[in-house]
Amino acid sequence: MGFDVQGIKFLMGAHRSGVSFTRTATLGRQELFISASHLRKILHGFGFPSSDAEARRLAPESGGFAEPLLRWLGGEDIISIDASWYEGASVVHDMNLPIPETLRGAFSLVIDGGTLEHVFNYPVAIKNCMEMLQVGGHLLLMTPANNFMGHGFYQFSPELFFRIFSDQNGFEINRVIFTETVPAAQWYKVVDPARAGRRVEMINTRPAYLLIQARKLRQVPVLASAPQQSDYTVLWQDPGTKRDESRIAQEGAAHILRGIARRVKAAYRNLRPAGRRPQLDGEVFIKVDWHE
C-alpha cells in the first residue's frame, strides 16, 4: 500500500483544490514509491518551490512512509488503520467490520491508497470510510481499475463510485480520473454514466487506476438502500408498461448490431500491437492535465 507518482499527483491536486489534510486517516500505513527527484518535479509542477534536500526529506530514496509528505500538506493529526500491526499502523481494525464510535465523524480526510480492493466485505468497508468523515470532509480513493486481476479481490468501475457518492448518501463527486500506472500516463476525467445516458466502458493494455475525490455534504444514513446501476434504473422506471412486438423486434436488431460491433472491436484489439494508448470514447473520457 502506498502512493506512487500518480497517487502523489492526485494528493497534490486535492490539496490545491482546498481539501483539508488537518485530521487525516489512511487505510493502511502508506509508503512512498517515488524518487526524490521525481517528487521535486511534481512539486514544481504544482508551483511549490522545493529544494533537493526538501524532496529527499519527504521521499527518502531508500523508501519510507508517507507521514512527512502528509504533514507537509497540512496534516496535524494523522492516523493509519490496518487489520494488523505489521506496518506499524496506529489503529488496528478490520475494515470488514463496522468502525467503532470513536472514529465516526472524526476526520477531515480519509485516504485509500490501495486497501479497499483487499477487503472482502466492500460495502461495509466503504461505508466505514464515509462515516469516518466530518461534514465537509473529503474522501480520496486511489483504486485499481483495469488489468489488476490477481492483485486483490476486486477491480472497480466508475459507475460504482458515482452511485455510492450520491446526494442520497450525503455526498458529491468532485472528480473521477482514469489513468494508467506509468508515470507519464495521460489523465482523463470520467463522465457520470447517468449523465452520459449510457455505460462508460473502456479497454486498455496496461494496469490502470481510478482516482476519486468526493466530499461529504451532510450527515445522513449511508447506503440505507443499495445503489443500482444507472442504465438499469432508467429501464426499470415504468416496469408495468409492456413493450409492443415492433419495439421488441427493433431492440433485438439493435442488440445484434451491438454484439457485432463488440466482436469487431475485440478482434482489432487482438491484432493491434500491445502497449498502445487506450482506445477511449472522448465524450465520456475527457483529457485533462494532471497539474490543473
Give domain 2-232's CATH number out of 3.40.50.300, 3.40.50.1360, 3.40.50.150, 3.20.20.70. Answer: 3.40.50.150
Mode of pairing for the β-strands spanning 187-190 and 171-180: antiparallel
Tens-digit pLDDT profile for the chain (292 aa)? 789 999 999 999 999 999 999 999 999 999 888 888 888 888 888 887 767 787 888 876 546 899 999 999 999 999 999 999 988 899 999 999 999 999 999 999 999 999 999 999 999 999 999 999 999 999 999 999 999 999 999 999 999 999 999 999 999 999 999 999 999 999 999 999 999 999 999 999 999 999 999 999 999 999 999 999 999 988 888 655 455 555 545 555 555 555 555 555 545 444 444 455 667 788 999 999 987 6
**β partners of residue 25:** 79, 110
Cα maximum dimension of the chain: 73
Question: So where are the chain's domains?
Answer: 2-232
Residue 127's alpha-carbon distances to 28, 165, 204, 220, in angstroms, are 16, 10, 30, 12
Selection from 272, 250, 273, 253 nearest residue 261 by Cα = 253
Please tell me the predicted confidence (pLDDT) of residue 47.
Answer: 82
Please tell me the predicted confidence (pLDDT) of residue 23.
Answer: 98
Element (H or E) spanning 188, and its range? strand 187-190
CB 21 within 8 A of CB 79: no
Please tell me the predicted confidence (pLDDT) of residue 258.
Answer: 57
**Exposed e or buried b for every residue in 124-151, given b needs 16+ CB within 10 A?**
bbbbbbbbbbbeebbbbbbbbbbebeee
Q: What is the pTM of this model?
A: 0.86
CA angle 222, 224, 230 (to 5 degrees): 95
